[in-house]
A = this chain, B = another copy of it.
């Protein structure tokens, strides 16, 4: 992690883009130059970064010359258009969209779980789905000791999963309801304030929504466990920016609950939060703005001797998106896995 690198953020004005900027500063990322890219519509706006004003440029074929790392968080269609162009220009694209996550030649990485997967990259690395990252960090330490057979998970997902405008909508609706007015839904299909609903991503023929299938398919890929059985119920709740998950894990044999606690307490990226005396466990208000995935209420499932129950909360924008992307970037530097002009490695 010695030499400084040129970084471009594609989609710098969104919720994840803003968090990327904050994290680059906070973590003292070895930046040489920082380029902010967006669609022509958002170009021209100015963003303050460490006291400097940076003008957002419209993304074009020329944008990626000399760029080492592109942090892309402008949605799937933008990524599909630009990621390969950027990679061809010599950058490594760390893509926050779902566009490439299923591709065999694109590593899908949670640095605490499968950092080795970065070694095979061909210019694009996918940042996993937020809900999947948070669950993965919490349960992988157990999976390493005794492979998980089956997961039944229910999620409690914040508005931030649908972007900054969805967070704003949740607040406006809450105020309307408190004032006795009818809440208006624009970003979400239904009001989210004082309400909740199954995740509104498209449903497949089996009745699972895309978000749920991301948890299934991405967890399998990240864990390199193609036979891992997973069922998920993903639900949007009136929370601003931290996701929670109730996870039931089935193993081949009983998993000692105290051992599970020790493993999670020692796991990178996770923090054990359990105060049984005071009934204090992970909550969105405590996970918000923080790096670790908070994990607690680890219990022996009373309905099945080979199962454990656990509960987790994590910041959806931070570890669920921006932080994980930055950690992937740090991993590339550390392992000398850049591909472009600035790198010692060539593709």
Contacts and interface: CB of A to CB of B under 8 A. Distances in A.
Interface of A: 150-152, 154, 156, 171, 174-175, 178, 189-191, 194-198, 200, 202-203, 206-209, 216, 229-231, 233, 235, 237-240, 244, 246, 248, 276, 278-281, 283-285, 297-304, 307, 309, 311
B190 A285 contact: yes
Nearest to A149: B303
Please name the 9 residue pairs, one residue from A and one from B, whose CB atoms are nearest each other, closest first.
A154-B154, A229-B303, A207-B299, A233-B246, A231-B303, A154-B246, A195-B285, A197-B283, A231-B301
A298 B207 CA distance: 8
Given A196-B284, A279-B189, A283-B190, A302 B208 contact: yes
B196 A279 contact: no
Contact of A207 (B235, B244, B297): B297
Given A194-B238, A206-B299, 20 more contacts: A151-B303, A154-B233, A174-B174, A190-B285, A196-B237, A196-B239, A197-B281, A198-B279, A198-B281, A198-B297, A202-B279, A229-B303, A229-B304, A230-B302, A231-B301, A231-B302, A233-B246, A233-B309, A237-B237, A248-B248
Count of this chain's copies in the oligomeric assembly: 2
Contacts of A154: 154, 233, 246
Contacts of A189: 278-280
Contacts of A175: 175, 178
Contact of A283 (B195, B207, B300, B311): B195
Given A206-B299, A233-B309, A303-B229, A285 B198 contact: no
Contacts of A190: 283, 285
Contacts of A194: 174, 238-240, 284-285
A214 B84 CA distance: 55
A276 B238 contact: no
A156 B237 contact: yes
Given A178-B171, A285-B194, A303-B152, A309 B231 contact: yes
A226 to B, nearest CB: 13
Name, among A191, A194, A230, A233, the residue most crowded by chain B CB atoms within 10 Å (CB to CB): A194
